[in-house]
Each structure stands twice: as structure tokens, then as C-alpha cells.
Structure 1
Amino acid sequence: MSVDTQPVGTIDGTRIAGGLLSEYQRLPTSGARTALPFELEGELLLAIPQLSEDVPGQDAHMNAGNSDIDAIIYRWENGAFVEHERLLTPGGEDILIFSIGEELFLGTASIRTGSGPYEMNAFATLYRREDETWAPFQSIPTFAVKQLYHFTFDDRHFLGVAQGVTLPHAQPQHPRESCILEWTGDRFEQFQVLDGKWGYNWHFFEVDGQRFLAYADHTSPSLVYRWDGSSFAPFQIFSEQTGRVFTSFEQDGGFYLLHAAIQGDTLLYRWEGEGFVEQQRLGGPGGREFELIRSDDALYLVRICFILGTPADPRTDLLSQLYRWENEGFVEVGDFPTFGGTDANAFTADGERYLAVSNSLTPDVRFRQDTVIYRLHL
């Protein structure tokens, strides 16, 4: 559904985070779970799935609210984002864009439906771009899904489904374990089922001619799998519980892996040929997402923090960090406020660089919290 709105006003904000960020624009979102910039048909768009909206009179809780809401897609116009269209995405946790050959797909992940009681047996929906619109293509049964992740090698296409919870009131009717699907030529079919019971995140990478798939889970171990020629086999465990995210990068001749556990430290590891060795600790509990940003002469890391405490009593107003790579490690150069921060993604528009940061909860644990666009000063 397309909409016509006026641009949200931009803000010439004071520089923060060591002078490397300034607030540029706020987008009115509710329980935003990611902020994904992408280009489509010559335009810059920003997709934001939303978990829930506040219900008048309902007690505050980070897992409450009405989850039957839309994902919002914004379009960059005259130096700012304006609302462009919406896709029904109840309990929106994730959105992704990927191509297979000449075909373009958009995927949405819904952790739940309803406004209490909630149904966690829901669906991930794949859309295909047809005649300048998103046409429903495939519906994938899921159980408390958190992320869809596309990766490819040897002309094969895979879709990781990170899903599941271990709560007594949530009974699976759909497949409950995290799994990997493979493209068969006309749809995605099950390829491999993992042991993960509360999945959050995937990350595929290659090093020294080997292929690896990192998987983060809340109640099961977060680990890296290695491709053995026919499937992904367990290779190395990084945290036993509360895992949230992995990412990797090459720098100064080394290969590195980052992992965050929300109730533990964020850790940097270096590849040593036979496995990863811990090299640095970067901040304590709260870490949920990463974004790596390169300038002409430096590498930066954004660490997004979600909450401290428990879902029953969370602290949502935290500081997220910005680091710069120096001497085989990251040095914190500044921080910035986030409120139930869930994601960060850098992008370029009109020759300038920006950072989109999705926030999901107010300090009093309500969902109507802005997503913020920052200008980057690198």
C-alpha cells in the first residue's frame, strides 16, 4: 500500500559520540526491530519492521501491546525520508532484501500475532518484485522467529531461519528449531535443522578457503558451524547462553570475529588457523547488534545496546558505543543514547554518510519510540 506524506523535518543536531555523529532526522516508529536501507529502481529506501504498538490502559511490558501492525518502508526524498508504503508484518522482527539471478525478493519475519494472548506460531513471508510492487511469493511456517538471513556460495542460495522460545505458555505447532532452507529453483525447502531452541542471528563468512556459519541463540550455545561439503557441522562454541549477534571482518592482515551475548561481554576474536582466539573485551551486558563502517583511513564499530535486567523489569535507556580500530583492537571514541536499541545500518545519500538506528522502547517501557537517522562525520 503506497501512501503520500510530507517529509519529516530534518534536525541539525549537535555532534555527539566523540564528534562523529549528529542527529539528522527522527522517524515515528513503534517497537522498531531493524532499520534496513536498500536501493530499488533508482531510489533509496529504508525498511523498518515493528514489533508492537501501545494499547491504551494496558500495563507497560516489553512483550505486551498490539502486534498486528505494519512494517514501514520510507523513501529518501529532498534530503529526508518520507513514508512510502507499508507491508502487513505482525510482530515484525526482521526484514531482508536479496536477489536470485535477476529476481529480487523481500522477506519479513513475524515473531507473533495478536494483542494478548499472543500466537507465536506465525509465518515468515517472502515477496517477489513484480511490476513495481511486492507480490507474495512464499509463506514459511515459523515459531517465534527473530531473523531471516540469506547467504550464497557455489551458485547455491540458502535462507537461515533463527527462531524458537522455551517458555511454558508458548507451545510450538510449527517447526520450532532454527533451520536452514535451500533454494530449489522455484522455492525454498528445508536443508538442515539445528539444535538451537531460541535463535537470534546468523552470519556467514569465509576464511582460509573454509566456509563458516555463525549462529547466536539465547538458551542454546552460540557457535560457529563449518561447511563439510554436504552440511554445516559444529566447529567452535562462543557462549553457552544469551547470544545475540556475530559479525566478522578483515583488518591489518588478520581475520576477526565479534560476538555479543546480552547478559555477558562483547568479545573480539582473532582467527589463528585452527580456530578463533579471544583478543579483546568490548563492554559488558546489553549488546544486541553491530555495524562496521569504513572511512578512507579508519575502521569503526557501532555496538547497539538493547536492555539491562530482565523483560519483567528492563532498563531501556542505555548508551551504545562507537569504536575505532587502533593497534589490533578497538578503542572507544564516543557513545550515544539508545532506547531499547535494536539495530544500526550505515548508508550514503546525496554524497553524505548516515547511520540509521532503530529504537524499540521508551524509558517507561512503551513502544512508541523514534528511529533516529544520524549524519556521520568520519
Structure 2
Amino acid sequence: MIDLLMLLDCLILLCCIVSGHLAPWRPCTDLLPLDLLQWVLPASRGQQSSVRMVQSQGSRGVQLSGPPHSLSFPAAQLLPHCRFFPAEFSIVLTLKIPQLLRNEDQYVFTLLHTESDQLLVGMRLSYDKLHFLQQTQGGHTKRVTFREVGVADGHWHTLVLAVTGRYVVLTVDCSVPLELQMEKPFPEDLDTKGFTFFIGSRRRRNGLFSGLMRQLVLFPGSDASSRLCPASDPRLSVLLVPKVLLHLPVKPPANQLPLYPYEAEVRVTLTPPPCGSWAEGQLWFSTHQRALFICDGSIWITMLHEKERLDYLEDHQELFTSSETFDIEVFHIPTQGLFIATANRDSNLGSAIYRWTDSRFERYQDIRTHGAQAWRFFTVGKKRFLVVANSRAPGSGKQELSVLYKWSDRKLRFVVHQTLQTHSARDWEAFHIQHDTFLAVANHRQGEMNHNIDSVIYKWNLNTEMFEVNQTVPTSGAYDWEFFTIGPYYFLVVANTFNGKSTDINSAIYIWAGDSFQPHQFIMTSGAVDWEMFQIGGRFFLAVANSQRLDGAGSVLYTINSTIYELNITSQRFVKFQDITTSSALDWEFFTVGDDQFLVVANSYDGTSYSLNSVLYRWQGYEGFVPVHSLRTNGCRDWEFFRAAGSSYLVSSSARSALSRVLKLKTS
């Protein structure tokens, strides 16, 4: 009886074993694209990295720099619920690799047995060929070779290798597919248990991949070329690129190193190369400034530099204008260069635009203006505009009109786009709030006596491509608008000059309330003509240029205090920080040189003379701004700071003569 029971147990065990072997095999289904590159990127900061981030030709890739074992991972991690390699699949590869020698081979990836050199699947590149490697039923390696595949040329390329049954199809940069037929269909039962993926090698240093990889994806179940093509840039078609290659921070947080070692091609030039989205992450070394910059997609940001210090200023150019100049606007047009627009007094002679050519401003375009007081350059999307504040009518009995000009890429000139009725306009301020563009005009007076009038804020209409009135603001002899942001808040501050009786009146700070500006704070000023907002570290300042103190008795003082205010975070109000004695100050200009911050004031009149020294002040921390240079000026009206070809300049205008001056800042 015991023998019978033992025999029965053996039969049951045998049935279980046989049934296990004879159970029907089920293929893996519903698999998503699998990112092979992601498995060899370090998972956390501080972990030893075997890859280097490299920016090349405007795109980022990884360069494999570690030993082969550090660039491997078990197949079970990639296919945790299905141990069989997909019977139908695509390999998507974006790479940049230099030209190979004729007898040189480099591996893209291999799937090898953990304990031996047995290869299940792999991909290899040679001089002008691409090889798909697979294991045959006899355990040997079979290769399918695509010839005359010119991807080893130092440029980015995207390849899709699709395997279905007997067919292997290669698509390069979304071009016409190349199709080869294998002797036997790709097996459906390739067991990956005990196998390991090696990225860029066959476990040996011989044949290491030397180029850059941007994506390496296993896409089970279908030909991935339909997911990538057509594409606007077929060389860089995207299926599944690691996020770190798409969104690399230009600068890491303070006191931290980048998660991945990072390299980029460096341009070494005297003048800056173009910086746009195509060059994001590109490095530029300025031989003139002896500084290293990185492109953030729009501007060059300083990474390393030899600290500059301002030594002195010297005359660089005497710029003779058609008449006295009340304002200078500095602006840049891509591919065209640096320009200034001068607002000139004489209506018969008009105003002009000058272009920076061979380190000097040359007259570029004349524009008819009428008592021009100010220019403002701004953009709406890709459109570029200049608007002039005309203070006079074009003729007796006619309306005062300020004019908006649009840059024509065809004519390479500014052409009239829109006219807007203004009243003795003194200034325009252009600004953006979220996706909307606004223009604010400072209307000084209506007629000869009425200074208490509305200034106007216009909003750009996307449909008509014109500015329309968005809001009117009551002002008193308005002379200047200044827009600024602090955190998520938007502000406009107006310089009110005269209310018909006195210059000691309130200027107002307005805050954006969703659809209009509302009063936020009033500050007593004396003939305020200009506001300058600036930031030093985490501190926010407003400097007002007070031009004169006129009381009801008719007495006038020109040498008075202009004031710098600082934002008190607790009260959310600007409070007095520093008084600076000025002589009918008409403008402040803030700028930086190296690690130093400066303010320069336009002193215009002291009650007896227009020939005065304007003063340059340097930030001294606890001491505030202290005078460091005196600059000879004659009725100075405006200062503007600009950089060109690695050098720094200040340009001043004169309301007393048809001569503006360009000063060069000499640094060490």
C-alpha cells in the first residue's frame, strides 16, 4: 500500500513537470517605449557618474565615460513582468559620432549573458555600415548589415531599426526606409533571464561607443518610424529623450554642483555670437572681456569672469545732432546691430536714428518729429516698434499726435504704424503683463495752463494689431512713467511735476489689479521728472529726480535733494533711504560694472548756469551711494548705459546744445 502511494506521488509530480513544460507560451503585450539611456544615468546627486552631459550643435547628448560594467543593468529591470525579448520591436537611436576608421567597430548596445559572452541582441556601427546582431537557434551570432549608412559624420542623426518577422527595416532621418530580409523570422522565445544590457559596449573596452547619444529606446510591438516621421527636424526626432537632455538648468542652485558633469562646445570670439533657442546651453568665451558666458536661449549669462573695476571715463565720440536732444533710447535689432534714437527739439529738422558702426554711431534714418521729448523701443511678439512722444502739433490748429513706428525687415527702416492723440507728451513706457502688451503715455499739459489732465494706458489688440485705450489715470504735469515688477506684482510709478500752483506734489505708485492699475502709494516729490527702479541683491530701490521747488509765492530752488527710496518688505511701502543733493536733476541711470553698482545723475541747472558737473555715484553698502566721478555736462538731459563689443559706454544728451557725448568706461 505504501509503495502504491509513493508511485501515485511520483506520477502527480511528473504530471506537474510535464504540464509546466507544455504550458502554452504567451508573448509580451501592451509594452510602452522603454528608455535604455535612463538606466545608466545617475539616480541622485553625489552618485558617481559614468556619463558626461555634452552640448553640441545646439542639442544635448550623453558621452559614456565610465567602465562598461557601470553602464549596464539586468534585463529583468527593463522587462520585470515579461522575460522574453519582444518578437516585434523597434530600436530608436539619436546619436552624433565622429567619422570612424575603416576597420573600426563601435557598439551601440548589447544584451549579453551575465556569466558568458553569449549575445542575444545588439547593434554595432562601423565606418559606413550598421549591423543588427541576434542569436540564432544554434547559439551563434547572426548579423544583418546595412551598407552605405553615412551616420558617422560628426552630425546628429536619428535612426529607427524595426524588426518584424523576417524583415529588418532601417529609417535614417525620416528618409526612404531600407529593407533587408533575414533567413528566418526573428524568434518569439528569446529568454532574457540571466542577461544584462550593456550600453555602448560588449562588456569590453574594445569597441566602446565614442560619440554622443541623445535617445536609445526599445519600442516593442511596432515600427516606431510612424511615431517620429514626418518631423520638422528629422535629425533630432523625439520619441523618448531623458528629461535631463531636454531641460538642463543653465545654472545649478547655489553651493551645488550639477547632477551630471556637463560639457559644451565653446566659441572663442571677440564679439558675441547669436544666442537663441537653437544655441541654448552653448558656451562662449569673450577674449575681450576675459569671461565665459552660457546662452540661456535668449541672452548670454556670465558664468565666470575676471572681475572688472571702473577706473575712469574718457571721451569716445562727439555726436552732433540736428538740434538739442531731450532723450536717447538705446536698442538692439537682431542681425542689424545696436542703435540709438535721439528725441530732438526742432520740429523742422526732426529726430534721427543712429547705428553703431565700427565703434561709433553713424546717422541711419531721419524721422519727422514735432518737439520730440522721448523715444521708447519695444517688441510685440516678433514685431519691433519705436514710439515717439511729440510735445507739439504739426501745425497751427492741428491735433498733437505721437507716432508709433514699426520696423520693416524688407526696407530695413522704421515705418509709420499708428498715430495716437497726446497732450504735450513727455514720455512713453512699454511693458508686458503676462501675454498682453501695454503703452503708457505721460501727458504733461493740455494747452498752456492745464496740467491736471489724464494720462493714458493703451493695450495692444491682437486682432487689429493696434493700441486701444485700456485706462486713463489722472496726473499733474506728468513727465515720466516707470514700470517694474517685484515678485508676482506689477507696478507703474508716475513722476508728477506741477499741478498749476506748486511742484511739491504727490507722485503715485500704482499696482496692477487684474485689469487695471490702482493707487498703491503716494510719495511727495518736488518737480519730479524721472523715476529709476533698480535692484541690488534682494533689495528694491526707486530713485526720483527732483528738478525744482516752486511754491505759491513764486520762489524757485533748483539745488535740492533728489531721493532714493527702498522697499520695506514688512509694510510693503517704499521708504526714504538716501537724499542726494542735485541741481535740477532730470534723469537717473543705474548700471553695473563687474561687481559694482552705479547711479549717474543728469544735473541740468543750478539757477545761474547750465554748465555743471553731473555726478557718478557708486554703491557702498551701508554708506549708500557715494560720489566717485564728476562729469562735465551742459544742460544734461539724459544718460544711457550700453555695452558693445565687450566694452561699456555712457551716452549723454544736452538740452542746451546739439551735441551729445559718448564716454567709454575704462576698467581694470
Query: What TM-score, normalized by structure 2, do the two folds share?
Result: 0.47
Deviation at 1:177, TM superposition (A): 2.0
Identify the residue that residue 31 of structure 1 maps to in structure 2: 324
Instruction: Give the counterpart letter for 2:595 in structure 1.
Output: D
Query: How many angstroms apart in 2 are the aligned matches of 1:269 and 1:151?
Result: 22
RMSD: 2.2
Q: Secondary structure at the match of 2:563?
A: strand
Deviation at 1:25, TM superposition (A): 0.7
| Offset from partner CA, 1:334-353 (integer Å, 9 cap, x none) | 11122121111111223221
Query: How many angstroms apart in 2 are the aligned matches of 1:69 and 1:308?
Result: 29
| Offset from partner CA, 1:298-326 (integer Å, 9 cap, x none) | 001111122334xxxx6322221100001
8 Å CA contact 2:453, 2:474 repeated in 1 = no
Change in Cα spacing, 1:261 to 1:120, as seen in structure 2 (3 Å) is farther
Q: Say which structure, 1 or 2, has more relative contact order (CA 8 Å, 6+ apart).
A: 1
Identify the residue that residue 660 of structure 2 maps to in structure 1: 371
Q: 2:468 aligns with which of 189, 193, 213?
A: 189
Q: 2:646 aligns with which of 351, 354, 369?
A: 351
Are 2:386 and 1:88 equivalent residues in the alignment?
no
Considering fraction of residues, name the structure with more strand.
1
8 Å CA contact 1:68, 1:113 repeated in 2 = no
8 Å CA contact 1:120, 1:143 repeated in 2 = no
Are 2:485 and 1:206 equivalent residues in the alignment?
yes
Are 2:429 and 1:144 equivalent residues in the alignment?
no
- Give the number of the structure whose alpha-carbon radius of gyration is greater: 2
Query: How many angstroms apart in 1 are the aligned matches of 2:496 and 2:397?
Result: 21
Identify the residue that residue 5 of structure 1 maps to in structure 2: none
Instruction: Give the counterpart letter for 1:122 in structure 2.
Output: E
Identify the residue that residue 271 of structure 1 maps to in structure 2: 567
8 Å CA contact 1:112, 1:119 repeated in 2 = no
Query: How many angstroms apart in 2 are the aligned matches of 1:204 and 1:27?
Result: 30
Deviation at 1:45, TM superposition (A): 1.5
Change in Cα spacing, 1:139 to 1:78, as seen in structure 2 (3 Å) is same
| Offset from partner CA, 1:53-79 (integer Å, 9 cap, x none) | xxxxxxxxxxxxxx3321111122222
Query: How many angstroms apart in 1 are the aligned matches of 2:318 and 2:660?
Result: 6
| Offset from partner CA, 1:170-215 (integer Å, 9 cap, x none) | 679xx95211111111111111111113111111112243221111
Are 2:353 and 1:73 equivalent residues in the alignment?
yes
Are 2:456 and 1:179 equivalent residues in the alignment?
yes
Are 2:532 and 1:247 equivalent residues in the alignment?
yes
Are 2:584 and 1:291 equivalent residues in the alignment?
no
Instruction: Give the counterpart letter for 1:164 in structure 2.
Output: H
Deviation at 1:119, TM superposition (A): 7.1
Query: How many angstroms apart in 2 are the aligned matches of 1:69 and 1:239?
Result: 38
Instruction: Give the counterpart letter for 2:434 in structure 1.
Output: D
8 Å CA contact 2:443, 2:454 repeated in 1 = yes
Judge which range, 243-252 or 146-155, deviates more.
Answer: 243-252
Are 2:385 and 1:105 equivalent residues in the alignment?
yes
Q: Within 5 Å, give how 1:220-239 maps onto structure 2.
A: 220=499, 221-239=506-524
User: Which sections of structure 1, spanning at least 5 residues, go unmatched?
Assistant: 1-17, 53-66, 362-367
Instruction: Give the counterpart letter for 1:179 in structure 2.
Output: V
Change in Cα spacing, 1:235 to 1:171, as seen in structure 2 (3 Å) is closer
The number of aligned residues is 332
| Offset from partner CA, 1:347-374 (integer Å, 9 cap, x none) | 122322111101110xxxxxx3310000
Query: How many angstroms apart in 2 are the aligned matches of 1:42 and 1:215?
Result: 33
8 Å CA contact 1:126, 1:139 repeated in 2 = yes
Change in Cα spacing, 1:298 to 1:33, as seen in structure 2 (3 Å) is same
Q: 1:47 aligns with which of 341, 348, 368?
A: 341
Q: 1:305 aligns with which of 592, 600, 603?
A: 603
8 Å CA contact 2:424, 2:446 repeated in 1 = no
Q: 1:127 aligns with which of 395, 405, 422?
A: 405
User: Which sections of structure 2, spanning at least 5 residues, go unmatched?
Assistant: 1-309, 500-505, 549-559
| Offset from partner CA, 1:91-145 (integer Å, 9 cap, x none) | 1111121110111111111111469xx7794111011122222221100011100
Change in Cα spacing, 1:171 to 1:251, as seen in structure 2 (3 Å) is closer
8 Å CA contact 2:544, 2:588 repeated in 1 = no
Deviation at 1:241, TM superposition (A): 4.5
Considering fraction of residues, name the structure with more helix.
2
